[in-house]
Amino acid sequence: MTTVTSQPHTGAILRVNRAGPYSSVQDLGRPGYLSWGITEGGVADRIAYSEGLTLLGTPSVTPACVEIFGMGGCYEVLEGSIQACLTGAPIPATLDGQEISHRTTFAMTAGQVLDLGIIRGGNISYLMVGGGIDVPMVFGARSTHLRASIGGHCGRNLRDGDVLHVMPDMSRNVGLTLPEFPVDRRDTTRVMLSAQSHLFSDEERARFFATTFKITHELDRMGARLSFDGAPFLPNSNAPIISESIVLGDIQLMGNGQPVVLLADRQPTGGYPRIACIVRADVPSFVQKQPGSDVMFELVDHTESLTALQAQERAIASRQKHLVQATIDKENLMNLNSTNLISGAVANGEHLPWE
């Protein structure tokens, strides 16, 4: 079997020549600090992240990646070589002018420039690199937490000129590709009740679940504002609400009755009423809904939400089986040869139709 690998080497170095406006280093986040007022954070689309792990052949570790919101940017390898892939929403990408396929591993070597365009068909893409971005662990994670200004690269979004180190990585497995995730093409986003659902009348809740909302441009790691036609959604009484815990996916109604869905970098507590909460299985598809898309919420129970989550986890776990080896063109092979990446064994070799 033909396989591709490199000798162990010290980590590569990647420079952000031009940062997208909302790009940050993320991993699975840091549960455990809620009582300090720090939400778990982490990647907004965990399915896209898990696909990157499958492609890179490291499903059991959680390397840090670059999460890109909206617009890509430009990255140059200063030293070493990197195995990488792009997952999440499709993002136009070229490496030294050569088009890079989505959800496909590729190699980047010193001097090469990766140019990422404007995300299409979603909001968030991931630049995943073998070994992961080497930033310090802060409270058990490498995720950037913007509200706390901790983690990631200097606790903030990436900026032009930032230099990112990449952890040493042995595996080289270029041209592996994954078909699109078997998306459950539902018309509705499933929700359950939340902390203040009972403060809304039956009629107001029924109207909420019968309303078609639109995703607005006010969408970031903290939350997504929704718009709709109709009267604002108001609780039965305007008595002040005692600040209460906010969880991922909570749908909060602001003082003007407009909904905001709270996401990965939300605040841990708040005093606006929350009418419902998106179930875990539907958070990844929700965060990829583009501004202008319609969203309707459907109330489900614990049994239904668990069934959906279990099915999704099974699909994620079985992704390895769907890895295929794309044809590698000669130029790519030349690149591989020139960077001494040949020979050895790769974790995912079992399924390669490439001998």
Partner 1 sequence: MYSFAPSSFPALRPLGDASVLVEFGDGISTELNGRVAAFERVIRKSVIPGVLETAPTIKSVVIRFDPLEISFEHLSATLRGLLDQHTDLSNIEQVSRRVWNVPVCYDQALAPDLAEMANALNLDIPEVIRLHSVNVQQVLMIGFAPGFLYSGLLPDTLHVPRRTSITPEIPPGAVICAVGQTCIAATTMPTGWYEIGRSPLRNFHPDRDPAVLITAGDTISFSAIGKAEFEAIEAARDAGNWQPECDLA
**247 vs 342, which CB is nearer to partner 1?**
247
Of the candidates 211, 296, 194, the residue with the CA atom closest to the CA atom of residue 248: 194
Is the CB of residue 305 less than 8 Å from the CB of residue 36? no
Query: Least Å distance between CB 252 and partner 1?
Result: 12
- Shortest Å, Cβ 31 to partner 1: 5
Q: What is the phi/psi pair of residue 350, to 5°?
A: -50, -35
158 lies in the site for partner 1, by CB under 8 A: no
Using DSSP, state whether 326 is helix, strand or coil: coil
Q: Is 287 helix (H, G, I), strand (E, B) or coil?
A: helix
Q: How many residues bind partner 1 (CB under 8 A)?
A: 49
Closest separation between CB of residue 246 and partner 1, Å? 8
**Between the CA of residue 74 and those of 20, 67, 180, 284, what are the distances in Å?**
8, 14, 25, 25
Region 223-262 residues binding partner 1, contact defined as CB under 8 A? 240, 242-245, 247-250
Task: Tell me the sheet residues that pair with 245.
Answer: 269
In the bound complex, what is the minimum distance in angstroms from residue 59's beta carbon to partner 1?
16
Question: Which two structure tokens, joined as six digits, stand for 204?
Answer: 């107001």
- β-pair partners for 129: 84
- Assigned token pair, 322: 């769907």
Q: 90, 117, 257, 268: which one contacts partner 1 (CB under 8 A)?
A: 268
Q: How far is the CB of 188 from partner 1 (least distance, A)?
A: 15
C-alpha 288/C-alpha 339 separation (Å) is 36
Per CB under 8 A, the list member of 40, 51, 134, 162 interacting with partner 1 is: 40
Of residues 54 and 194, the one with the C-beta less far from partner 1: 194
CB 115 within 8 A of CB 83: no
Strands 223-227 and 259-262 come out as antiparallel
Q: Are 188 and 29 in contact (CB under 8 A)?
A: no
What residues from 43 to 82 belong to the interface with partner 1 (CB under 8 A)? none
Verify binding: residue 315, partner 1, rule CB under 8 A.
no
Binding region for partner 1 (CB under 8 A) out of 18-26, 34-42, 113-121, 337-345? 34-42
Nearer to partner 1, 119 or 278 (CB): 278
Ranges within 116-145 binding partner 1 (CB under 8 A) = 138-139
238: CB partners within 8 A, 6+ apart: none
**Which one of 26-34, 165-173, 285-293, 321-329 is the stretch in contact with partner 1 (CB under 8 A)?**
26-34
The residues that touch partner 1, with contacts defined as CB under 8 A, are 31-38, 40, 138-139, 147-150, 155, 191-195, 197-198, 240, 242-245, 247-250, 267-270, 274, 277-280, 299, 301-302, 305-306, 309-310, 313
